[in-house]
Structure 1
Amino acid sequence: MIKKICMTVFALFLLLPSWSQAGSFGKDDPSGVPGQWYVGTTPSYVAPSKHPLLFVHGLNSSSNTWWNENNMYDTAYQNGYETAFIDLYPTKNMWDNGALLAQKIRDIHNYYGEKVVVVAHSKGGIDTQSALVHYGAFPYVARVITLSTPHYGSQLADLAYSSWAGWLTGILGSKNDATYSLQTGYMSYFRSETDHHQNVNRNPVYTFGGTTWGSFGSSLYWGGLYLSAYNSNDGAVTVNSSRLPYGTELRVGDWNHSTIKEGSSTFNLFENYLNEATNTSGFNSHSVVESKEADNAASFIRGGEYSGKKQEVVLVEQGAQSVTFDWISNSPSSQLILKDPGQKADSIFKVEKDESEYFNGAYHHTVTVKDPAPGEWKVEASSSSAEKYLLHVSFESAMNDAMRIHLAQNGISLKTNSSNLKFKQNMTIEYYKDGKLKKSKVKTKNDSLKLPKLGEGVYNVTVDIEGSKDKNAFKRSFIKSVYIDDSGKVYGQ
């Protein structure tokens, strides 16, 4: 199919020189050129009722995500649809990509002579909504299908910008304008700018969400484990975030963040929404009202940089059903030993390379312990060279529901469900403005959870907890992002 596409585009160069921005693509152009768009092979018969399809990729991706190890393009072709694909900036925010995409949507509309249906994966759905609502591309689009789009951001983006993870994501290149804009605090601000805009209901939006993670030790499995504190997810985006209150949810299914964009997974479920005469009221769909995330106490997080040897101590409480240790580093050769409270040592970590959107290029060293002995567990690492790392410990325990974190007026609020719970807290803030780190590791006075007045920008907040319930000791970490505008208004979830 790729050869056919290349031949089609070559013909366009010869016959339609005014459309020269539509270039050839395939294995020689794996990363894509931002702003370049491509025309798929025209099926032998195209029904007049079928809209052309424009496929939009997500974060740290490119147009070839729709045909490399993916049958979405081939499925659309076999079903008689004209197709177009575009490359956006893989690491820029929804404003830059929205402006670029709006220009190209107009060109693609003019090429086909009719409106297109946009099928967007992940952040591509946010870029698309930005193009339609804020940059005026709505007249050229019939409707939008979003596949696991984080309409309310991703807590993995919050983690990537946190004080514990910044060492690692900085060297991985994960701290970029795109990830910055997907922090839940910033996305709350984007929703406030978008959801009441006069153009927001010009194009119907249909959403899909996933509930399955990858295999044990994989990046999507780890992402799913981290996000499980915030409800069902596909390893990168929670189901709640994939929804829009004024959109129509077509399906939540057992897809992960990668398989949800495959043609064999979802195409047949949204095909009825691709035609010009579609009567959407006749299909099995329903509107979904936004629901809040859980924000429960399921994680303990540490991170930083070391050379030689490093030890992290993890406190496991009595009654925990399981605990998963995930040492994430920029090196696959980390030598790790896990010691239980009785000092029994074992090297039982499974190593997998991260291929996700937020920690791409890192290495996960993962192990799960069932019915762990209570007390101090130790992760001991050694490396012959300097290493950046992030330790994420996930608990399956009744203690997870003992405490929750919420955004309060001018600060963060911790709520407990037990009078027997005693704890002390420590809050650290990474303050960013326009994507640039302005102040790092800001501490509040007297362990206060009130946000300092640093100005407009994103406040990435880490709250570390050490406490006990009925004399049962525990430690946990909460990470949350908040956006404060130039008038002092607070945005967050």
Structure 2
Amino acid sequence: MMVNTAIVISSALAGTVLVALALGLVWHYRNGWLEQVRRSCTAGLLRHPVVLVHGVVGFDEINFGSKRHEYFRGVAERLRHLGVEVYRVRIPNGASVAVRARHLARWIERIPTGRVNIIAHSMGGLDARYAIANLGIGHRVASLVTVGTPHRGTPLADIGTKLGDRFGLRGLLSAAGIDVRGFYDITTDEASNFNDGVQDHPGVRYGCVVGSAARVNGNLNLLLRPGFRYLAGRTGANDGLIPTSSQVWGEVIDEIDADHWAQIGWSSYFDAPAFYEKLVRELGVRGL
């Protein structure tokens, strides 16, 4: 009986201690202690900050009514929660690669750190490549990862620009102050010329993420379905706008089942923030 009583007393004391510890942890969490511990554990995830670069028609963030929307939806918040320093840039929509690259280079030069890791979506990857190669920021960039970037152009731009020229749309849009030169830069011919003239910087690690909508089935955005079908018959696998074969540059870090807009979080079937967390962890493994 005495043994049983001792066991009961010991169990009660152990339970009391556990409850006390739990309450203490809750109290410390509410006072930021656990947050500080978490940040100290993730602060070494990356050696350099991340710069997010948007595509040809993009933004850092916009407001619709009372709601704020980011181009990379939920990504910056997810990465900052891990302790990663994140910068989002805004460069001119529709402008040529050369113009957009100059704006990007100025953004990079203003960041008060040594080097950065650039993660660029769509045409933003071409802007980054141009800025690194031609505008003197190569020493500021540790890595460039492109996501869904048309390194070899896209046949959809070929069709779109030809139709636009036939109906005089380029002149009309230019007269209205709308720059569309960027769409010409992602035609297959211009992309070929670009690759001939823009060389990789030897001090920068280049990688890519290749997106395909082949297996997303009914989840593919309705607006992307005509382009997906056309490209599927013309070039094979694609993300609704860009052939997968055009998206490869440098090391293929990952291949994802996501259409062009899902890659940046504009869908319900693909968890973009989780994907970018995985990508950043991969960069961390590489010492970046």
Q: TM-score, normalised by structure 2?
A: 0.71
Specify the alignment match of 2:222 in structure 1. 218
Give the match for residue 263 of structure 2.
260
Identity of aligned residues (%): 22
How many residues matched? Answer: 229
Q: Distance in 1 between matches of 2:80 and 2:280?
A: 12
Other structure's SS at 1:97 match = helix
2:57 is aligned, of 49, 60, 69, to 60
Name the SS of the counterpart of 1:240 in structure 2. Answer: helix
Shift of 1:264: 3.1
The residue number in structure 2 matching 1:240 is 245
Aligned pair in 2 of structure 1 residues 226, 267: CA closer, same or farther (>3 Å)? same
Q: Say which SS state the counterpart of residue 162 (structure 1) adopts.
A: helix
Instruction: Specify whether residues 169 and 265 from structure 1 end up closer, same or farther in structure 2 by C-alpha distance, changes over 3 A only.
Output: farther
Instruction: Indicate how the Cα distance of structure 1 residues 222 and 106 shifts in structure 2: closer, same or farther if over 3 A, else same.
Output: same
Corresponding residue of 2:116: 116
Match for 1:192: what amino acid?
D
Asked if the contact 1:121–1:147 (Cα under 8 Å) also holds between the matched residues in 2, the reply is yes
Tell me, what secondary structure is at the counterpart of 1:231? coil
- Structure-1 separation of matches of 2:221 and 2:194: 33
Whose RCO is larger (CA < 8 A, sep 6+)?
2
- Structure-to-structure mapping, 1:404-419, within 5 angstroms: none
Residues 174-229 of structure 1: per-residue CA shift (max 9 Å, x gap): 971100111110110000001xx3x5332111111111167578221111111111
Structure 1 residues 206 and 223: CA distance shift in structure 2, 3 A? same
Is the alpha carbon distance of 1:81 and 1:167 closer, same or farther for their aligned partners in structure 2, counting shifts above 3 Å?
same
Residue 122 of structure 1 contacts residue 146 of structure 1 at CA under 8 Å; is this kept in 2?
yes
For 1:261 and 1:235, locate their aligned partners in 2 and report how far apart those are by CA, in whole Å: 14
Structure 2 counterpart of 1:55, one-letter code: L
Counterpart of 2:135 in structure 1 is: 135
The structure-2 alpha-carbon separation of the partners of 1:90 and 1:104, relative to structure 1 and needing over 3 Å to count, comes to: same
Give per-residue Cα distances to partners, 1:230-269, cap 9 Å, x unaligned: 110000111100002xx00012221000111233352133
Query: Could you tell me which of 193, 213, 223 is aligned with 1:189?
Result: 193
Tell me the amino acid that sits aligned with residue 286 of structure 2.
T
SS at match of 2:152: coil
SS at 1:144 equivalent: strand
Specify which of 74, 77, 81 is matched with residue 78 of structure 1. Answer: 81
Tell me which residue corresponds to 2:235. 230
2: CA distance, partners of 1:97 / 1:68: 17
For residues 39-92 of structure 1, the C-alpha deviation after alignment (integer angstroms, 9 at most, x for no partner) is xxxx96561452211110001111128836811112111221111111111111
1:29-40 aligned within 5 A: none
235, 251, 256: which one aligns with 2:254? 251
Asked if the contact 2:80/2:86 (under 8 Å) is kept, the reply is: yes
Question: Could you give the per-residue CA deviations for residues 402-427 of structure 1, whole angstroms, max 9, x where no partner exists?
Answer: xxxxxxxxxxxxxxxxxxxxxxxxxx
Distance 1:68 1:94, change over 3 A: closer
Is residue 282 of structure 2 the alignment partner of residue 278 of structure 1?
A: no
| Residues 1:68 and 1:183: Cα distance change in structure 2 (over 3 Å) | closer
Q: Tell me, yes or no, if the aligned pair for 1:120 and 1:146 is still in contact at 8 Å.
A: yes
- Does structure 1 conserve the Cα–Cα contact (< 8 Å) formed by 2:56 and 2:94? yes
TM-score by length of structure 1 reads 0.43
Is the CA contact (8 Å cut-off) linking 1:91 and 1:177 kept in structure 2?
yes
Q: Does 1:88 align with 2:91?
A: yes
Separation in 2, partners of 1:188, 1:217: 29
Structural mapping, 1:307-456, within 5 Å: none
Assess if the C-alpha contact under 8 Å between 1:160 and 1:169 holds in 2.
Answer: no
Per-residue CA distance 1:85-111 (angstroms, 9 max, x = gap): 111111111111112211221211xx1
Q: For residue 261 of structure 1, what is the amino acid of its counterpart?
A: I
Give the strand-richer structure, 1 or 2.
1
Q: Which has a greater percent of helix?
A: 2
Query: Equivalents in 1 of 2:56, 2:70: separation in Å?
Result: 17
Distance (whole Å) between structure 2 residues aligned to residue 47 and residue 233 of structure 1: 36
Distance in 1, matches of 2:226 and 2:173, equals 17
1:178 aligns with 2:182: yes
Structure 1, unaligned stretches of length 5 or more?
1-42, 281-493
Separation in structure 1 between the aligned mates of residue 221 and residue 57 of structure 2, nearest angstrom = 21
Given that 1:234 and 1:257 are in contact with CA atoms closer than 8 Å, whether structure 2 keeps it comes out as yes
Which region of structure 1 is more displaced relative to structure 2, 69-78 or 54-63?
69-78
